């Protein structure tokens, strides 16, 4: 379970399929590039490969399995969710840049949007900005906001200069980071993530 902007729930149907596509692609990139892999989500990319993999396995379990209790929201795990959706958008960018007429990622996003009652583009639409908005809208169905993007503002500020209660996040939101996997845990975690992404 996950405390989403739409209530406590798990992802199902087309929404789960689109999420899994982004997750699977991100996992394969991490397997190949390890520490050099970048999603453009700073709060996620700043973590070690082992921390990113640990986050992904924990949050994928929570978002896809109703028996997993919802974790507390942290900057790290919310950034990881957004990184998965960013990776899904990257799949659409690749489709649109390709000479082949593949529309797999676009079909997944279209189906997920349709099932959630959101505006659904045609899977042959080639407007990259429209697809970016569609993927961000799906991400917004899971995330409440993008507080994880404000980490530097809070972590670098003098404690007395920021009223964290006023802005709605506590110190623990930014301070709690993922556990670090030992080297021997990396490969089994990759296997587990590949299973979750199927």
First vs last Cα of the chain: how many Å apart?
18
d(CA 31, CA 24): 10
Q: SS in 3 state form for 16-58?
A: HHHHHHHHHHHHHHHHHHHHHCCCCCHHHHCCCHHHHHHHHHH
From 61-65, 129-133, 191-195, the region with the lowest mean pLDDT: 191-195
Residue with tokens 């790290």: 76
Please name which of 78, 91, 81, 74 lies closest in space to residue 28, comparing C-alpha atoms: 91
Task: Supply the pTM of this predicted model.
Answer: 0.87
pLDDT per residue as tens digits for the range 60-107: 999 999 999 998 888 889 999 999 999 999 999 999 988 777 789 999
What values do phi and psi take at 8, rounded to 5? Answer: -80, 120
pLDDT of residue 27: 94
Asked if residue 71 lies in contact with residue 77, where contact means CB atoms within 8 angstroms, the answer is yes
The string of pLDDT tens digits covering residues 137-163 is: 999 999 987 777 765 555 444 555 445
Long-range contacts of 129-133 (CB under 8 A, 24+ apart): 131/89, 131/92, 131/96, 131/106, 132/89
Which residue in 102, 23, 31, 34 sits closest to 57, CA to CA?
A: 23
């Amino acid at each position: 379970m996950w405390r989403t902007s739409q209530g406590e729930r798990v992802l199902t149907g087309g929404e789960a399929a689109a999420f899994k596509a982004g997750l699977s692609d991100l996992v394969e990139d991490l397997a190949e590039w390890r520490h050099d892999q970048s999603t453009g989500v700073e709060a996620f990319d700043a973590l070690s490969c082992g921390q990113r993999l640990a986050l992904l396995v924990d949050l994928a379990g929570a978002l896809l399995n109703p028996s997993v209790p919802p974790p507390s929201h942290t900057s790290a795990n919310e950034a990881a969710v957004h990184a998965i959706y960013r990776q899904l958008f990257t799949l659409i960018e690749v489709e649109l840049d390709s000479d082949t007429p593949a529309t797999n990622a676009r079909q997944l996003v279209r189906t997920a949007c349709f099932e959630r009652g959101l505006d659904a583009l045609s899977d042959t639409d080639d407007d990259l900005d429209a697809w970016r908005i569609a993927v961000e809208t799906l991400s917004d169905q899971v995330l409440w906001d993008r507080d994880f993007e404000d980490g530097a503002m809070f972590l670098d500020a003098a404690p007395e200069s920021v009223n964290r209660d006023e802005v709605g996040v506590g110190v623990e939101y930014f301070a709690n980071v993922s556990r670090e996997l030992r080297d021997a845990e990396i490969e089994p975690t990759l296997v587990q993530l590949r299973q979750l992404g199927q």
